[in-house]
A and B are shown apart, each in its own frame.
Chain A
């Protein structure tokens, strides 16, 4: 008996991706009480970070192009983007590989990487609306917030920062194809990312040698660029150039993630069933 080979479509299936993104967006609204306490925690840590940065400034009006008001806005932005960008870690893909659920997903007629990206876009958008916008509003009320001079550039930089960060997170999660316990690899990667993307301190405050080192990595594009474009530390051609670097790293990391995924799938063994 012969059967027709199933046609597996891996191309762009826009309605499907939109649906995946929408479902993942809605899922974020499931636990309102947890979201509330998440906000309280976020704001508390935000207050501590404002205090530390202002104590560093002391009587000094500015440092490395940042005024005290910039520093406050910086902490507001990083706290607001924290959950949208999954800066404390992201293990979703890893989990499906370790549990073998990845096998079911691979049967589905769509691009694996593309569908995960769509789902993460939905998750990130919901987290940005739920927690990010609330945190920015609370910051504006409590400490005051500076708004961007060129919102369009900020929006582009924000999207690229998410995409670049997603590509990195996806790539790190692919370690699960090789290691039965890749959580440590993940923790290690998120630790490096937190310092190098400018989440812990504005990168401009670091010694010159360290900044030069970080400029060779994709990490500044995952957060610091957004901050500098928002604050106007980078303007005009300088800002456009920084965004171009973000775009280049995003493309490179997505290609790397795709390549690693293909190699990982070739050695995938699913136990049980």
Chain B
């Protein structure tokens, strides 16, 4: 067996143990956990419910049906919550906590790869209810749209979700890295992460041209889910873009993630502790 395979298996086992330990500690107070888990989904549920309850009274949403919006909203939410489960340790508030209290120094001392420890440092089991809810919204969307689903469409949706996980995970890594320099301005990242997620939850033609173009060409969020969903629904892409642009999330997401980790390595080299 090659060394790297043994290493990979060893690391995966460590990661699973880190998650397991956190899951067990979160299950100690059973009632509190159940409420917390329900509350995690409630925030998304109420946001989507508020929209779904009023849409029938208005009749139309920029030419999109509730099912079509549900598909778009659902895959964005699904990808974001999966990303949060995997990349939660890199989120700026969590990581800056480690930097401030000095527990980040402890990470550096252990004979375990640093990213593995960060990945395994913030596993919130309660977020699984959000995954279930997001799958439900996607299911409602799939049932509600008039699409003869092909294998290609299904693969495109899966690629879109993976692309978004990489994209938002990359933004989390960038935000986390920034905390090596400053702990104050990381709030700015929230506009891109949480703001970006909300932005791509609705058809982007409802935004003004400058806002849509900014989040298409400057910050390529539109490529992640809006274009793939347009393609599946058989609608044209904006600005006369060719249809193959709908397949770019597979490129855009991983590229951003790779750049983010390059930045991370610079940050770790620059890191010099908080003096604990």
Which residues of A come within 8 Å of B, CB atoms? 31, 33-34, 37-38, 40-41, 44-45, 47-48, 51-52, 54-58, 60, 63-64, 179-188, 191-192, 194-195, 200-201, 205-207, 210
A64 and B185 CA atoms in complex are apart in Å by: 41
Asked if A180 and B29 sit within 8 Å, CB to CB, the answer is yes
Asked if B62 and A207 sit within 8 Å, CB to CB, the answer is no
A55 and B126 CA atoms in complex are apart in Å by: 34
Of A48, A182, A191, which is within 8 A of B198 by CB? A48
A52 and B45 CA atoms in complex are apart in Å by: 17
Asked if A37 and B50 sit within 8 Å, CB to CB, the answer is no
How near does chain A come to B193, taking the closest CB pair, in angstroms?
10
Asked if B191 and A31 sit within 8 Å, CB to CB, the answer is no
Chain B residues, CB < 8 A from A55: 61-62, 202, 206
A96 and B118 CA atoms in complex are apart in Å by: 30
Chain B residues, CB < 8 A from A41: 187, 190-191, 194-195
For the residues of B in contact with A, the DSSP-based class is: helix
CB-nearest residue of chain A to B55: A56
Asked if A191 and B35 sit within 8 Å, CB to CB, the answer is no
Question: Which of B36-44, B131-139, B158-166, B247-255 is the interface stretch?
Answer: B36-44
Asked if B36 and A37 sit within 8 Å, CB to CB, the answer is no
Q: A179-B29, A192-B42 are in contact. Are A54 and B191 (CB under 8 A)?
A: no
CB-nearest residue of chain A to B53: A206
A38 and B184 CA atoms in complex are apart in Å by: 11
Asked if A34 and B53 sit within 8 Å, CB to CB, the answer is no
A183 and B202 CA atoms in complex are apart in Å by: 30
Q: A48-B198, A60-B58 are in contact. Are A187 and B187 (CB under 8 A)?
A: no
Chain A residues, CB < 8 A from B126: 184
B49 at the interface (CB under 8 A from A): yes
Which residues of B come within 8 Å of A, CB atoms? 29, 31-40, 42-43, 45-47, 49-51, 53-58, 60-62, 126, 184-185, 187-188, 190-191, 194-195, 198-199, 202, 206-208, 211
Asked if A185 and B202 sit within 8 Å, CB to CB, the answer is no
Asked if A179 and B42 sit within 8 Å, CB to CB, the answer is no
CB-nearest residue of chain B to A60: B58
Chain B residues, CB < 8 A from A205: 53-54, 57-58
A179 and B32 CA atoms in complex are apart in Å by: 8
Q: A47-B211, A179-B32, A191-B42 are in contact. Are A63 and B202 (CB under 8 A)?
A: no
Asked if B46 and A191 sit within 8 Å, CB to CB, the answer is yes
Beyond A57-B58, A188-B36: 15 further Cβ-contacts under 8 Å? A37-B187, A37-B188, A41-B190, A51-B206, A52-B202, A60-B58, A63-B57, A63-B58, A64-B57, A179-B29, A183-B36, A184-B33, A187-B36, A187-B40, A207-B56
Asked if A38 and B187 sit within 8 Å, CB to CB, the answer is yes
A-B contact pairs, 8 of them (CB 8 A): A37-B188, A40-B191, A55-B62, A56-B55, A180-B32, A187-B42, A205-B54, A206-B53
Chain A residues, CB < 8 A from B198: 45, 48
Chain B residues, CB < 8 A from A64: 57
Chain A residues, CB < 8 A from B206: 51-52, 54-55
Chain A residues, CB < 8 A from B185: 33, 37
How near does chain A come to B30, taking the closest CB pair, in angstroms?
10
